[in-house]
Chains A and B, each alone.
Chain A
Amino acid sequence: MPTHKRIDVSKVGDVTVVKFVDRKILDEAGIQELGAELFSLVEHDNRRSILVSFDNVDFLSSAALGKLITLDRKVKSVQGRLKMCNIRPEILEVFQITKLNKVFDIRGEEAEAISAF
């Protein structure tokens, strides 16, 4: 199991649950590391059912959105499934403004999201 600096990774059944270590995802170096760690779940660890939980996250910048979009594409390219949950209203508004709520599979609570896989 590789070690991660920016994410906590656990498994619930077949679903890989990813939580962010940082409450504010905004600095460029951290976002680059975050992206590399997320992508390695798909490309190195062959995870195919991934739930990204935002329950620790208070803030994220548009640069972080780019990493989530790339993750979504990588998961879809291997016929995997990516869902997101526990998103606070202000961040949900970011997804709605940018219409990323149409791209991402966004759920409410973690249990609901896991049961949807």
Chain B
Amino acid sequence: MSDQTSLGVWQLSIDLPSERGSNRQVTDELLTQLGTHGWPPADVFAVHLAVEEAIVNAIVHGNKLDASKKVHVECEVSADRVRVAIADEGPGFDPASVPDCTADERLEAPSGRGVMLMRSFMTSIEYNAAGNAVVLEKVRGPAES
């Protein structure tokens, strides 16, 4: 794990074990850093939700809680931009294949909302071709401050 701040940019690189709750090692510090960098509470909520969903997906659906696999997370936080890259060691998935959770027939399904929430709350999210790594970005614009 490395954790450093230079020129107002905080960076973290860490490998998480594939066990429930290990995401707290990232989210607790990430939330602190967003506050330190002056991000407003609504944006902190948005980033928290998106990163929580993405890391839990990587641990549970990607690595399937396999103790021999890690989830690699890289974070970068500055005053106007946050970037979080999350990669698991699973086979990946096709994000386009996730059914629309807002379709009438899916509206009351008990799961399947994480990816939509990530897309809605972040400025951009991009999966790699294999579908086992995602980069989440949020830019703090004037309209959001």
Contact = CB atoms under 8 A, between A and B. Distances in A.
A99 B111 contact: no
A7 interface: no
A23 B122 CA distance: 23
B-side binding surface: helix, strand, loop or mixed? helix
A59 B111 contact: no
B108 A97 contact: no
A63 interface: yes
Interface residues of B, number: 24
Interface stretch (A14-22, A26-34, A106-114): A26-34
B75 interface: no
A10 interface: no
Contacts of B102: 98-99
A65 B20 contact: no
A62 B53 contact: yes
Interface in B101-116: 101-102, 107-111, 113-114, 116
B110 A59 contact: no
Interface of B: 20-21, 41-42, 45-46, 48-49, 52-53, 56, 101-102, 107-111, 113-114, 116-117, 120-121
